[in-house]
Structure 1
Amino acid sequence: MSTEENPQLKKGVAGWFLLATLGVSYVISGSFAGWNYGFAVSSWFGMMIAVGLMGIMYFGLVLCLAEMSAALPSAAGGYRISRKVMGDTGGFATALAVLLEYSIAPAAIVIFIGQYLNALWGIDGPLVYAAFYLFFIGIHLIGVGEALRFMLVVTVLAVLAIVVTLVALVPSFSIANLAISSQSPADQQTLFAFDSFSIWAALPFAMWLFLAVEGVPLAAEEAKNPATDLPRGIIAAMVFLLVNGFLIAVIIPGAVTSGEVGGYDAPLVDALHHAFGGRSALAAFVNVVGLAGLIASFFSIIFGYSRLVFAMSREGYLPRFMSAVSSRKVPHWALIIPGVIGFICSLTGEGQLMINIAVIGATLSYALQSMSYILLKRNYADLHRPYNAPGGQKTAYVTLTLSVIALTSCFAYDLVAAIIASSLLGVGVIYYVLMGKQAQ
């Protein structure tokens, strides 16, 4: 265990391509489940508008984070800038929102992993959750270089499953299928039908195609050249996710109808079953390889929360021992403690509830980080910026507006998740008020 006053992570292990892969890995599980529920509350065109709006929000956020993380690289990610421009309280609020997202999301994903394993081999439950937490935290404890290389392999497998699915479904694609929605009577099906409320209701599901890509800057201290690698990595990841999200939201409902895909639990596999007349070898292959998508996000988000907790502890927002690093420069307590908390949350078995709680934390953090960017541009104009986001403050204002709209839709869709998320955030605020920021 390191006894340094200012513990440091291992430097120079991640170039821009590995950072881009990390960004895709954070998100890729959302391609395998979750996004399709948007078609249960909206028409195809309404869902495409929702995907477009959330794509704009995330792309704007990514551009702002690219500029901020290149100028002030830190394992703290975007919240370091929030602290700089909004003080300790603003920094803690941003970090707390991100922590809610990153600590709860793995619990949701491991529940979905259990569901996949149950469908394949009939195994599920707490022992499965515990095994995955123990195994993948163990890989992280070996070292960051080894962890990121493992993440690269499982991400490639996940992308392969998506490509195979989309190519196989192209022959079944029909524009007429896109118009067949559960939201309209059979005699009133039109391709461009939508209403504003259904778009608003679909926003949380559209987010699943991009959720957590903002975690790339959490690897800032381990990047080879943060000033160039961070912008290139996070923007490359976002471009890939935009293309991936568009193709998924067009080809899969176009092969099976928009109304039907909204009721699937595993949309890629179920769409293949539909297209090939029952269970097929191809669907079984995608089902098995699709586990890689869930594992990739589970694995990479564990990486993200550990770096966030490490930074919060090092800067005095959490107990000091949580920033201790091992001889391999790995923040072991920052990996283990949130893992224990996540495992306890997974015992509920409520995967969708967990992910909805995480989404609320995410949208709140986007609003705070967008505001941080605006204040940084306004109050620190002389700060050296290796990269400048196109549009500057206008890009941030668009991101801020869309993130607030998305946050309201989360509260409207799942009130239970909203109450739980608010309660957890309230506990964090009470901790901060009672304990204060620990002395550096």
Structure 2
Amino acid sequence: MASNKSIFRTKSLEAMLAQTKGKGLKKVLGAFELTMLGIGAIIGTGIFVLTGVAAADYAGPALMLSFIFCGITCAFVALCYAELAAMIPVAGSAYTFGYVGLGEIWAWIIGWDLILEYVVAVAAVAVGWSGYIVSLLRAGGLNIPDAFCNAPGQKGGIINLPAVLVLFVITALLIKGVSESAKLNNILVVIKLAVVILFIVVGVGHVKPANWNPFFPFGVNGVFKGAAIIFFAYLGFDAVTTAAEEVKNPQRDLPIGIIASLAICTVLYIIVSGILTGMVPYAQFHGNAAPVAYALSSVGIGWGSALVSVGAVCGISSVLLVMTFGATRILFSLSRDGLLPQVFAEVHPKFGTPIKSTILVGIMTMVLSGFVQIGRLAEMTNIGTLAAFIVVSASVMVLRKKRPDVERPFSCPAVPVVPVIGIIFCLYLIYSLPNFTKLVFLIWLAIGFVIYFAYGKAHSTMNFEEQAK
């Protein structure tokens, strides 16, 4: 076991659970809300934006196989998540699991990484939301000047005001309470699921099998490159586990929420990508930020195109809500453990939410979405997700060895085979990502190491726990 001064010191499961007593977050969520949170985060940008980009530039019609490969990879990892989330129902997701399983430095690395991941993802998605809402408003005769719907340096932009405003509203909602946020998310998820199902029903009759030929225009390797790009969409089920501390019956409800949301979303992604590339030749989606609406308008279903745009706004809104929620909970957990200033671990006495973490995440995402062209930085979220998945899979194996005595309400089957396969698949997807993405990841990690050794290691609550013994 690592000494209390070691960067590999682990936090005991008992200590992790003890810190949630009395001053933890309010428990208001059940299995249904968790499943809807997962669907809320997973179905959105993936279907309404990324499908077209991935089909046109990476995979072609074989995008269906990209989603299948992503779904299989996530299935292996989801079983690991389910075991740890039921066993350690504490906010923080992969960060928390890594702290108990692998040690403080690994927990810090993944927690630091996940903060950037969620914040950049939220900012990128908010820019997508802005694009859809501006198009809808202009179609309705309300013209918003380019200066107020683009970042500086882009089409004469000064500020992307719609992106900033939607994030301001979401931040206010998350401060008010998780219960209210979950109710809004449920409504948005129902609307977007209805729109996705409508697209499937209407679009399937317009599929031309000839559009699937050639099936592998970018070769078999394109399937994996496409999978690496669309993996952005699967960040959502990590967000389910960030809510662990706010679940009424985490041992039962967390595994249900994780596995059910993943299964539902993967099936819908595969069907939608198949119909999409069957309706319109894949090359036509190049540079198109609204592929589902474009496919419907291309076959003469104008009303369907407008309806999909409304569904996309609802869909992307729920992604923003859940991913912003996830970022606040990870920041809260890092701060509660002393690795970042503990002021961000304060819980509002009335609302039971981490108010200062929520405000900080809100400000960061508003600044990024309003004033920065996200560009390739959005791809950064993929490598972060994959790194988190690797840490979670490894933690399952380590804890099986170190803590076989702990009750596991849900057990990942076939350990170590399932976690090892999950790790191998994730490593291959990381290998398939662009070099720029890997470079940004390394720079962010270097900044993280400076903060940890300059501040986090000395202020870690682990120091005080050891002194109290």
Normalising by structure 1, we get a TM-score of 0.90
On the 8 A contact 2:329/2:354 being kept in 1, the answer is yes
Residues 15, 252 of structure 1: CA spacing in aligned structure 2 closer, same or farther, 3 A cutoff?
same
Residues 258, 171 of structure 1: CA spacing in aligned structure 2 closer, same or farther, 3 A cutoff?
same
1:202 maps to 2:236 = no
Q: 2 CA distance for matches of 1:216 and 1:329?
A: 18
1:424 maps to 2:424 = no
1:171 maps to 2:193 = no
Q: In the alignment, which residue of structure 2 is the partner of 1:150?
A: 184
Q: In the alignment, which residue of structure 2 is the partner of 1:318?
A: 340
Q: Give 1:262 shift.
A: 4.7
Q: In the alignment, which residue of structure 1 is the partner of 2:39?
A: 24
Q: In the alignment, which residue of structure 2 is the partner of 1:337?
A: 360
Instruction: Out of 132-141 and 371-380, give the one that drifted further.
Output: 371-380
Q: Give 1:150 shift.
A: 0.8
Where 2:260 maps in the other structure, the secondary structure is: helix
Sequence identity percentage: 24
Q: 2 CA distance for matches of 1:83 and 1:298?
A: 27
**Matching residue's letter, 1:324:** E
Among 105, 111, 116, the alignment partner of 2:127 is: 111
Q: 2 CA distance for matches of 1:344 and 1:194?
A: 37
On the 8 A contact 2:164/2:370 being kept in 1, the answer is no
Q: In the alignment, which residue of structure 2 is the partner of 1:98?
A: 114
Q: 2 CA distance for matches of 1:214 and 1:225?
A: 18
Where 2:338 maps in the other structure, the secondary structure is: coil
Q: 2 CA distance for matches of 1:430 and 1:77?
A: 23
Q: Give 1:218 shift.
A: 0.9
Where 2:423 maps in the other structure, the secondary structure is: helix
On the 8 A contact 2:59/2:66 being kept in 1, the answer is no
Q: 2 CA distance for matches of 1:98 and 1:212?
A: 12
On the 8 A contact 1:7/1:314 being kept in 2, the answer is no
Gaps of 5+ in 1: 180-188
Among 82, 86, 105, the alignment partner of 1:70 is: 86
Q: In the alignment, which residue of structure 1 is the partner of 2:98?
A: 82
Instruction: Out of 394-403 and 419-428, give the one that drifted further.
Output: 419-428
Residues 193, 341 of structure 1: CA spacing in aligned structure 2 closer, same or farther, 3 A cutoff?
closer
Where 2:132 maps in the other structure, the secondary structure is: helix
CA offset digits 1:303-337 (Å, max 9, x no partner): 11111111111111211000101121111111111
On the 8 A contact 1:60/1:396 being kept in 2, the answer is yes
Where 1:388 maps in the other structure, the secondary structure is: coil
Q: 2 CA distance for matches of 1:274 and 1:208?
A: 27
Q: In the alignment, which residue of structure 1 is the partner of 2:309?
A: 287
Where 1:33 maps in the other structure, the secondary structure is: helix
Q: Give 1:168 shift.
A: 1.2
Q: Give 1:74 shift.
A: 0.5
**Matching residue's letter, 1:372:** S
Q: 1 CA distance for matches of 2:74 and 2:419?
A: 11
Q: Give 1:79 shift.
A: 2.0
Q: 1 CA distance for matches of 2:449 and 2:95?
A: 16
Q: 2 CA distance for matches of 1:43 and 1:237?
A: 25
Superposed, 1:266-305 pairs within 5 Å as 266-276=290-300, 280-305=302-327
On the 8 A contact 2:34/2:254 being kept in 1, the answer is yes
1:388 maps to 2:411 = yes
Q: Give 1:153 shift.
A: 0.8
Where 1:328 maps in the other structure, the secondary structure is: coil
**Matching residue's letter, 1:321:** V
**Count of aligned pairs between the two proteins:** 421
On the 8 A contact 1:253/1:261 being kept in 2, the answer is no
Q: 1 CA distance for matches of 2:411 and 2:460?
A: 34
Q: Give 1:214 shift.
A: 1.6
**Matching residue's letter, 1:421:** F
Q: Give 1:19 shift.
A: 0.2
Residues 9, 157 of structure 1: CA spacing in aligned structure 2 closer, same or farther, 3 A cutoff?
same
Q: In the alignment, which residue of structure 2 is the partner of 1:36?
A: 52
Q: In the alignment, which residue of structure 2 is the partner of 1:357?
A: 380
**Matching residue's letter, 2:37:** L
**Matching residue's letter, 2:38:** G
Superposed, 1:5-20 pairs within 5 Å as 7-11=23-27, 13-20=28-35
Q: Give 1:352 shift.
A: 4.2
CA offset digits 1:157-179 (Å, max 9, x no partner): 11122111121111101222111
Where 2:283 maps in the other structure, the secondary structure is: helix
Q: 1 CA distance for matches of 2:386 and 2:59?
A: 24
Q: Give 1:129 shift.
A: 2.2
Q: In the alignment, which residue of structure 1 is the partner of 2:465?
A: none
CA offset digits 1:174-202 (Å, max 9, x no partner): 222111xxxxxxxxx3x466624322321
Residues 257, 209 of structure 1: CA spacing in aligned structure 2 closer, same or farther, 3 A cutoff?
farther
Instruction: Out of 331-340 and 117-126, give the one that drifted further.
Output: 117-126
Q: 2 CA distance for matches of 1:209 and 1:35?
A: 10
Q: 1 CA distance for matches of 2:373 and 2:424?
A: 30
Q: In the alignment, which residue of structure 1 is the partner of 2:402?
A: 379
**Matching residue's letter, 2:448:** G
Q: In the alignment, which residue of structure 2 is the partner of 1:52?
A: 68
Instruction: Out of 256-265 and 356-365, give the one that drifted further.
Output: 256-265
Q: 2 CA distance for matches of 1:403 and 1:397?
A: 10
Q: 2 CA distance for matches of 1:157 and 1:167?
A: 15
Residues 439, 90 of structure 1: CA spacing in aligned structure 2 closer, same or farther, 3 A cutoff?
closer
**Matching residue's letter, 2:195:** A
Among 289, 295, 300, the alignment partner of 1:265 is: 289
**Matching residue's letter, 1:23:** G
